[in-house]
Amino acid sequence: MKVNKPIRPAKKKTAARKKDAAEPLAASSAVSTALTFKLQKLLAQKGLGSRREMEVLIASGQVKLNDQAAVIGDRAGPGDIIRIGRRVIRIHEEEELPKVLLYHKPEGEIVSRSDPQDRPSVFDKLPYLRSSKWIAIGRLDFNTSGLLIFTNDGALANRMMHPRFEMEREYAVRILGELTEEQMQQLTTGITLEDGEAAFSYLADQGGEGANHWYRVILKEGKNREVRRMFEAIGLTVSRLMRVRFGPINLPPRIKRGQWLELDEKETRRLLSLIK
């Protein structure tokens, strides 16, 4: 399986990936070749939450570093032992790549670990992780299908989801009827929603049969139910919605609904190089 290139990459692919931000030990320990990392960054990379959430966790006294209560500003490296409750986290000297998993979400599943209505969850079908947890990169609503990306690296998840990076989301949309030229212009220049302006950066007619018509659209943000609400704002209802691309990753045709595929080392490194 290959990680497909984006339709219009926002940035050129670089030749090599820079090593993750890390600083050597203080000058007094210059003889050591070990690297240390900010504790909150390490925990975020283990998929335990965002860096801000990890800072709160550390400040609350729930994290121990080598059996001592950790404080904001602590750093850790190979050989150090981090404890959060009964969970033990060890730092390995070798570079540890994040896990990245692609999932073809069917309609009728929620992107949440708990639900008062006890509906099926996408997390029910993912492989078990021993010392971290899967983080969903973006969300899809209950009635939307298509590409979901999961990782155990909080920093990678944040890099792909944060609005300032404008990671493209591409969807196949089916509606009853066809858009007029005026409606297409509205959708690409700006629709006023209750939580702000929204516009497609790309919209193309994909044809259709009978009364149904398909369109391909691209957004550079991920507001809740944004595609559906944009069409509803011009008086149209979306009958099918499927995400086919997120950033540089296309939904591989061979992943059937309800199935997942984990990227191998080469594919993961390529993804990291594309989103630097």
Give me the active site residues, please.
141
Q: Are 262 and 99 in contact (CB under 8 A)?
A: yes
Q: Which residues of 107-143 are buried (b: 16+ CB within 10 A; e: fewer)?
A: eebbbeeeeeeeeeebbeebeeeeebbbbbbbbbebe
C-alpha to C-alpha distance for 223 and 220, rounded to whole angstroms: 10
Report the half-sphere exposure of 181 (CA within 13 A, side-chain side).
Answer: 0
C-alpha to C-alpha distance for 122 and 257, rounded to whole angstroms: 11
User: Backbone dihedral region of 39: left (phi > 0), alpha (psi from -120 to 50 degrees) or beta?
Assistant: alpha
Torsion of CA 120, 169, 213, 235, to 10 degrees: 90
Tokens of 16: 């090599």
Phi/psi of residue 111, nearest 5 degrees: -100, 70
Tokens of 48: 């335990």
